[in-house]
Amino acid sequence: MIEPLRSYNPFDILNSIYEFILDLIMGRGSSYLSNYFFDLYDKYGYSLILLSMFLSSALVVFIMYVIFRINGIYSKQRKSLSPIKNAAEEKKEETVKSEKWKIITEHIESENVNDWRLAILEADIILGEMLDKLGYRGEGIGEQLKSVDKSDFTAIDDAWEAHKIRNSIAHEGSSFLITEREAKRVIGLYKKVFEEHNYI
């Protein structure tokens, strides 16, 4: 005949565990502790198994909850910091573009013809950066301009004209003759392109 499961008072089990811990603190012998373990298991074995399973399950659930909460907090912090980071990056980028354009305007207002050429070369670099940011792909600015749809880029002809003059300066160097008026006109073409796309 199968012996029915016995029921135990949980406080009796906790009291036995307390006595066991107290024996450890008091420094009882190892043989005594071994016998104590066996007696404890023999008396409360099934209940201890259930209790350990319950505590283990509760611990796993608690750990999962903590991990979930940590991930949630981290995600919120990342989202809250993202707009600040993006705003800071945009502000930094605007500052860099403003500084570059300021240098170009200083060059074009110079009385030195070499500064005029340099202003056009630097403006063309900004044009390349703008085309990259707008998503136009190609080997060099010329290829990028070929992929432009005029409906999205009304100043495309101005960009082409300015870029061709830049190429002449790059290929001919100081032998390329340009007047102050023409240099300022070319910079005006670049400015028109940049302003259309709010790039300066």
- CA 176 vs. chain centroid, Å, equals 46
Question: Is there a domain that residue 96 lies in?
Answer: no
Looking at residue 126, its pLDDT comes to: 93
Which pLDDT tens digit goes with each residue over 21-40?
656 555 554 455 556 555 65
- CA 15 vs. chain centroid, Å, equals 55
Average of per-residue pLDDT across 148-156: 88
Question: Is there a domain that residue 93 lies in?
Answer: no
Question: Is there a domain that residue 133 lies in?
Answer: yes
- Amino acid letter, 35: N
Prediction pTM value: 0.55
Which pLDDT tens digit goes with each residue over 7-18?
545 555 556 665
Looking at residue 120, its pLDDT comes to: 96
Average of per-residue pLDDT across 172-178: 91
Torsion angles phi and psi, residue 177, rounded to 5: -90, 130
What is the DSSP track for 75-126?
HHHHHHHHHHHHHHHHHHHHHHHHHHHHHHHHHHTSS-HHHHHHHHHHHHHH
Question: Is there a domain that residue 4 lies in?
Answer: no
Question: Is there a domain that residue 142 lies in?
Answer: yes
What is the C-alpha separation between 84 and 80, in angstroms, rounded? 7
Q: Which residue has the tokens 């940590």?
A: 70
Number of domains observed in the structure of the chain: 2
Q: Are residues 114 and 190 in the same domain?
A: yes
Closest by alpha carbon to 45, among 3, 6, 4, 75?
A: 6
What is the C-alpha separation between 43 and 57, in angstroms, rounded? 23
Question: Is there a domain that residue 87 lies in?
Answer: no
Q: Are residues 67 and 119 in the same domain?
A: no
Q: Are residues 66 and 140 in the same domain?
A: no
Range of the domain at 59: 10-71
Question: Is there a domain that residue 1 lies in?
Answer: no
Average of per-residue pLDDT across 60-64: 84
Q: Are residues 121 and 191 in the same domain?
A: yes
Kindly state the DSSP code that residue 149 receives in the 8-state scheme. Answer: -
Looking at residue 68, its pLDDT comes to: 80
Asked if 110 contacts 116 with a C-beta cutoff of 8 angstroms, the reply is: yes
Q: How far is CA 38 from CA 31, 43, 45, 81, 148, in A?
A: 11, 8, 9, 58, 84
Looking at residue 90, its pLDDT comes to: 62
Looking at residue 2, its pLDDT comes to: 44
Higher local confidence (pLDDT), 80 or 173: 173
Looking at residue 29, its pLDDT comes to: 47
Question: Is there a domain that residue 92 lies in?
Answer: no
Closest by alpha carbon to 8, among 61, 63, 37, 50?
A: 50
Looking at residue 178, its pLDDT comes to: 94
Q: Are residues 191 and 120 in the same domain?
A: yes
What is the C-alpha separation between 72 and 79, in angstroms, rounded? 11
Q: Are residues 65 and 135 in the same domain?
A: no
Please say if the pLDDT value at position 118 is more than 90: yes
